[in-house]
Chains A and B, each alone.
Chain A
Amino acid sequence: MKGLIYKDFMLLGKQARLLLVMIIGLTGFWTWTGDTVTGAFSFSAVIVFMLSMNCFAYDELAGYEKLVASSPIPKKQVVLARYLSSLVVWAGTTAVSLICMLAVLLVKQGTLLTAQLAQIAISVPLVLALVIVLMAVWFPIFYKFGVNKSRLILILVCALGAALLVGVIALFAEQPISLSAFTGWNQVLLPLLAVAVLALILSVSYSLCVRILEKKEY
């Protein structure tokens, strides 16, 4: 499994410099010009998703899956390696974003505000949740259909998602959702519930990927 994670990093490492420039540039820009820090962290979710898709694409292009299938690595480890490498990439991009963001805030304000630190503390786990949901939904699709077909599905989903979002915004524009429900004991229960739901989604996705890989023929 270690070898597969290492391979993903070596492949992604070829784009590392460009990505680093993008992350630093965009994080710096958003932090300097924006009021919130969430945007900069959300970008890392997009990056992780794109890079994971690239890893699948590289493997597909090289016929690497066949080589891995003829090796002694259990299928469970093959799938786990992909999830882990994506999570490590997320951790890396988040760390770079965080350092860059703190540096820009210090230069801009001369100090760090408690509200901003609280926003960072909330944004990081929220973006991690987003990354987990993206991986959980898309990895089985990548394994099942390959990256090329998955891209078409992705375009379709994005189009439908955007339409849905516009609809929801139009529907609730006059009735904003009250945040008063997220106080008191809910502040503890809801995050725990969210963690449980994410763990469930992730385990279902992982099992699905393993099953797809076990049934796959080369």
Chain B
Amino acid sequence: MNEKLAKLLEAVEYGKVDQKSPYPPNLKGMDGAHELTQQALDAGIRPQDILEEALIPAMGNVGRKFSENKIFVPQMLMSAKAMGASMAHLKPFFASGKIKSRGTFVIGTVKGDLHDIGKNLVAMMVEGAGWTIVDLGVDVDAGRFLEALSKNPGAVVGLSALLTTTMTNMGEIVAKIKESTPDTVIMVGGAPVNMDFCRKIGADFYAPEPRGAVDFLNQLAS
């Protein structure tokens, strides 16, 4: 691998945002994702390669370590921040079409429910896998999902709920989405949800933890 990309991969994997960032302590004073991305672009490395050979593998490593209980969420969040610093440089290339996103993922916690920690984790890991995220936040009704889909045709939808009394709202939202755009792929998640419930309400996929959502989306994109 190109040395610059290898360094960038390491910076993102270990959460080194920029040179000033004190985290992680063992990379103190060294260039972070911000500087290394600029250096890679200056060296003529294709933006698509920066994304696919450094950023996505780095976040893949982070996701794997998290799934294996080798790191905690804060380390993962620092990696996401480092990736964000890098993506700020790449944003113009998405707009010009020089980089292609793997797809768009619309996610939200369903109507009546305010719990967003699980949703945020899924969004972060999916973004790290190269998807464009449209995060609708919490307490989201069917109308807002439909509106997001009309702006992002072909997007995959993720619904989250933590309560037994709000998971029922998932059924209503799934029905309205499928009625409007039958081909939309919908995944569901949250503590009270399981595969039986997913099937019962007509959703397409359920994952008990964030990594499963990423794997499913990557399969869709491949």
Q: Do A and B bind each other?
A: no
Please give the residue numbers on chain B whose beta carbons come within 8 Å of chain A beta carbons, in ascending order: none
